């Protein structure tokens, strides 16, 4: 489900771009969903592998490190959420958000 949602978000952003329409928010959403899906799946795999999931001899450890980079590289998850909120007309105000004036 996670990967399918990420793929659909990516395809939507790509179609917008190909059509010459604004696609920055859709691309940001696709990056956010893909990064979260990768991290959630890697975390689940590490949990299944137990202690072996952290050993470099197993590919799970590499997948976990690679997924973590997706959360950090090209903007943190918080930055991605901020960009999406701004595109929706929301501003960050402490723990809540309200429409921009």
How many whole angstroms from its chain centre is CA 60?
19
74 assigned to active site: yes
Strand partners, 92: 97
Distance between CA atoms of residues 46 and 39, nearest Å: 10
Which residue is catalytic, options 36, 57, 71, 74?
74
Q: What is the token pair recorded at 41?
A: 């799946």
Q: What is the token pair recorded at 5?
A: 């949602």
Strand partners, 98: 91
The residues assigned a catalytic role are 74
């Amino acid at each position: 489900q996670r990967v399918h949602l990420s793929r659909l978000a990516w395809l939507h952003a790509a179609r917008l771009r190909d059509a010459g329409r604004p696609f920055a928010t859709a691309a940001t959403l696709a990056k956010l969903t893909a990064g979260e899906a990768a991290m959630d799946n890697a975390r689940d795999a590490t949990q299944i592998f137990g202690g072996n999931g952290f050993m470099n001899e197993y590919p799970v450890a590499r997948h976990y490190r690679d997924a973590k980079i997706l959360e950090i590289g090209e903007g943190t998850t918080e930055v991605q959420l901020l960009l999406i909120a701004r595109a929706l007309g929301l501003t960050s105000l402490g723990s809540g958000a309200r429409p921009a004036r």
